[in-house]
């Protein structure tokens, strides 16, 4: 009896067979130390480690999960509220763009220890988890709100519907697929944020605390058991929202070719616009500094640790040793930024290719997602030592870490965009005998262009973060190495300077991406 691979049961059997094959291959690789001189343990050893110390892992997992869940609720609640405000009052999106990017671009390696010093208990984990989920969910929610069918909105307005009625009956329902895609990214991010906040916290319980102790003991079985535990927690959260997304997409997917949403036109005259645009950009730059200064002043944080904008100005510009600090920072930036740009491009390209392949091949999507979740959830402080043994301590390692950090959010966002492609557009080209490549070029890419731009906005800060992590742990170069040296010397001025530089570069690249996005949308979707 032959097996029909096109049937559902055939694909499932093939999937099970491939899973068994990879597990057996992994088992042999671990038993005989084929990979990284034994740094990759056999799955049987990892499972044995978990079940022999199940109570211990349970306590550590719960200690990480509780603040991650609270931070997940707080961060996503703020993200949804912010997206609604940005939609109803577009000028606020421009004003708070700097704040939004700052929250997403702050390296957890610098923020985590500071949160530990200025807060107590589970607060650092909650705060970092909330910050980790805010930006991806806000971007996804806002994109979904803006992608509503204008014909339906016009119909509501024709019957006297107000702006709030359009929001309630059209935009909110249209935003559900995008929101659920954002929550799929946010679930693993909350777990990872909680783990990162545990580093250096001194707490007894938590996967991050347990991981640091295991790395110090060079216990590969335990390190991978912790990573698998974190992946399971992330997979549960991701799976819940993926299932909801699949059900929602089944009922909301467009079946007709809808007109492209129109880019907002400038209502001001030329002279007013030339004044308004620079003013908004200036205010968007000032507001993060004002909030930064206000938080330090309100919490009365010690000046030796918490450096405000004026302290940073003195350290980098007007201080006695400012020229030395400038030189060190500039040299580090020149080493890190090129790698971040290349890693961002490679991460987006890889995410786009895999999203296309996964969209047209459900078996590949189901097979690849567990690997993507593992790479997203496995803390890089645990994965990097293995990558060092495999790839060395040079350019290849840095780019690989940058791609790993940027890939997952971009992949999920692009998958959501491809799932919204109108079936009528594909059917129309099929009638005329178009090839698969023609359908991708004529329909898939233009229809998902908004989501590709959103993926780029998510990737920009993460690429630089990935480079900093690789430099901090392995290569001894760039911003990561400068951050590591400054932490050892307790040079808090340089720690804040590195943080500021990372955020400033991210904001600049984000602004460039926004300008390019408007041009791409006009070209590919005929907007504006």
Q: What are the pLDDT tens digits along the chain (528 aa)?
A: 445 555 556 666 766 777 788 788 888 888 887 776 667 788 888 899 999 999 999 999 999 999 999 999 999 999 999 999 999 898 898 888 888 888 888 877 777 777 777 777 888 899 999 999 999 899 989 988 888 777 888 888 888 888 888 888 888 888 888 899 889 889 988 998 888 888 766 678 888 888 878 777 778 888 888 888 888 888 899 889 988 888 887 665 554 555 555 445 445 555 556 677 778 778 888 888 888 888 888 878 777 878 888 888 999 998 888 899 999 999 999 999 999 999 999 999 998 888 888 887 777 777 777 777 777 766 666 677 677 767 777 888 889 888 888 888 888 888 888 877 777 777 777 777 777 777 777 777 777 777 888 888 888 888 888 888 888 877 888 998 898 888 778 888 898 898 888 888 888 888 888 888 777 777 665 543
C-beta of residue 503 within 8 angstroms of C-beta of residue 106? yes
pTM of the model: 0.81
Q: Does residue 218 share a domain with residue 105?
A: yes
Q: Does residue 321 share a domain with residue 195?
A: no
Element (H, E) at 193: helix 172-198
What is the spatial distance between Cα 118 and Cα 107, in angstroms, rounded to a whole number?
Answer: 17
**Domain of residue 334, residue span:** 304-527
Q: Does residue 237 share a domain with residue 308?
A: no
Q: Does residue 247 share a domain with residue 339?
A: no
What is the spatial distance between Cα 150 and Cα 259, in angstroms, rounded to a whole number?
Answer: 7
Q: Does residue 336 share a domain with residue 218?
A: no
Q: Does residue 358 share a domain with residue 239?
A: no
CA-CA-CA-CA torsion for 402, 231, 75, 450, nearest 10 degrees? 50
Q: Does residue 228 share a domain with residue 365?
A: no
C-beta of residue 237 within 8 angstroms of C-beta of residue 61? no
CA pseudo-torsion sign 297, 286, 75, 408 = negative
Comparing C-alpha atoms, which of 466, 473, 463, 467 is closest to residue 388?
473
What is the spatial distance between Cα 4 and Cα 25, in angstroms, rounded to a whole number?
Answer: 26
Q: Does residue 329 share a domain with residue 219?
A: no
In a domain, 79, yes or no: yes
For 67, the token pair is 């603040």
Q: Does residue 124 share a domain with residue 25?
A: yes
Q: Does residue 457 share a domain with residue 310?
A: yes
Look up the CATH number of the domain holding residue 461: 1.10.3720.10
SS3 at position 270: helix
C-beta of residue 66 within 8 angstroms of C-beta of residue 416? no
In a domain, 71, yes or no: yes
Distance, C-alpha 477 to centroid of its chain: 24
Q: Does residue 377 share a domain with residue 249?
A: no
Rounded to a whole number, what is the distance in angstroms from the first to the last CA of the chain?
Answer: 58
Q: For the packed helices 172-198 and 108-118, what is the interaxial angle rounded to 10 degrees?
A: 70
Separation in Å, CA 524 to CA 69, 448, 452 = 40, 10, 12
For 379, the token pair is 């803390």
Q: How big, in percent rounded to 5, are the helix, strand and coil portions of the chain?
A: 85, 0, 15
What is the spatial distance between Cα 406 and Cα 403, in angstroms, rounded to a whole number?
Answer: 5
The per-residue pLDDT for 67 is 93
User: How many domains does the chain divide into?
Assistant: 2
What is the spatial distance between Cα 41 and Cα 399, in angstroms, rounded to a whole number?
Answer: 25
> Cβ of 81: how many Cβ atoms within 10 Å?
12
Comparing C-alpha atoms, which of 493, 498, 500 is closest to residue 481?
498
What is the spatial distance between Cα 61 and Cα 237, in angstroms, rounded to a whole number?
Answer: 14
Q: Does residue 241 share a domain with residue 313?
A: no
In a domain, 357, yes or no: yes
In a domain, 286, yes or no: no
What is the spatial distance between Cα 169 and Cα 231, in angstroms, rounded to a whole number?
Answer: 37
In a domain, 338, yes or no: yes
In a domain, 12, yes or no: no
For every residue of 86-140, DSSP letters joined together read HHHSHHHHHHTHHHHHHHHHS-HHHHHHHHHHH--TTHHHHHHHHHHHHHHHHHH
In a domain, 457, yes or no: yes
In a domain, 354, yes or no: yes
Contacts of 11 (CB under 8 A, 6+ apart): 5, 362, 363
Give the count of alpha carbons within 13 A of 40, CB side only.
Answer: 19
């Amino acid at each position: 009896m032959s097996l029909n691979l096109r049937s559902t049961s055939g694909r499932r059997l093939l999937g099970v067979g491939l899973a068994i094959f990879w597990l057996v291959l992994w088992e042999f690789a671990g038993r005989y130390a084929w990979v990284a001189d034994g740094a990759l343990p056999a799955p049987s050893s990892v499972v044995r480690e978990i079940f022999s110390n199940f109570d211990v892992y349970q306590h550590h997992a719960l200690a990480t999960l509780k603040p991650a869940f609270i931070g997940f609720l707080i961060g996503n609640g703020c993200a949804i509220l912010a997206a609604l405000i940005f939609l109803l009052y577009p000028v606020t999106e421009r004003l708070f763009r700097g704040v939004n990017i700052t929250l997403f671009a702050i390296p957890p390696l610098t923020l985590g220890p500071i949160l530990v010093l200025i807060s107590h208990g589970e607060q650092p984990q909650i705060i970092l988890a909330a910050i980790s989920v805010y930006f991806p969910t806000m971007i996804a929610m806002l994109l979904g709100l803006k992608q509503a069918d204008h014909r339906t909105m016009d119909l509501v307005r024709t019957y006297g519907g107000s702006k709030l009625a359009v929001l309630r009956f059209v935009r909110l329902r249209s935003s559900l697929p995008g929101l659920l895609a954002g929550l799929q990214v946010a679930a693993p991010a909350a777990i990872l944020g909680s783990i990162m906040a545990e580093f250096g916290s001194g707490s007894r319980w938590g996967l991050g605390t347990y991981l640091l102790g295991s790395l110090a003991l060079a216990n590969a079985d335990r390190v991978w058991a912790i990573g698998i535990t974190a992946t399971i927690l992330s997979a549960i959260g991701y799976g819940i929202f993926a299932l909801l997304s699949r059900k929602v997409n089944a009922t909301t997917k467009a079946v007709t070719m809808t007109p492209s949403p129109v880019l907002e036109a400038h209502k001001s005259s030329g002279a007013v616009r030339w004044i308004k645009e620079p003013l908004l950009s200036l205010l968007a730059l000032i507001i993060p500094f004002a909030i930064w200064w206000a938080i330090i002043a309100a919490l009365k944080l010690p000046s030796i640790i918490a450096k405000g904008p004026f302290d940073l100005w003195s350290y980098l510009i007007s201080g006695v040793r400012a020229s030395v600090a400038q030189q060190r920072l500039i040299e580090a930036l020149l080493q890190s930024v090129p790698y971040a740009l290349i890693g961002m491009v490679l991460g987006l390209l890889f995410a786009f290719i895999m999203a296309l392949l996964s969209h047209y091949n459900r078996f590949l999507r189901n097979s690849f997602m567990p690997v993507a979740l593992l790479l997203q959830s496995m803390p890089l402080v645990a994965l990097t030592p293995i990558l060092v043994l495999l790839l060395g301590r040079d350019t290849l390692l840095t780019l690989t870490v940058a791609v790993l950090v940027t890939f997952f959010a971009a992949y999920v966002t692009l998958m959501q965009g491809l799932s919204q492609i109108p079936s009528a557009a594909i059917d129309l080209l099929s009638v005329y005998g178009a090839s698969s490549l023609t359908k991708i070029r004529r329909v898939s890419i233009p229809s998902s262009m908004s989501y590709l731009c959103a993926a780029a906005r998510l990737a920009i800060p993460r690429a630089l973060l990935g480079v900093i992590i690789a430099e901090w742990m392995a290569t001894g170069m760039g911003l990561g190495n400068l951050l590591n040296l400054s932490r050892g010397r307790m040079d808090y001025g340089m720690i804040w300077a590195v943080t500021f530089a990372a955020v400033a570069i991210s904001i600049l690249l984000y602004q460039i991406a926004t300008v390019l996005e408007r041009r791409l949308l006009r070209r590919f979707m005929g907007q504006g």
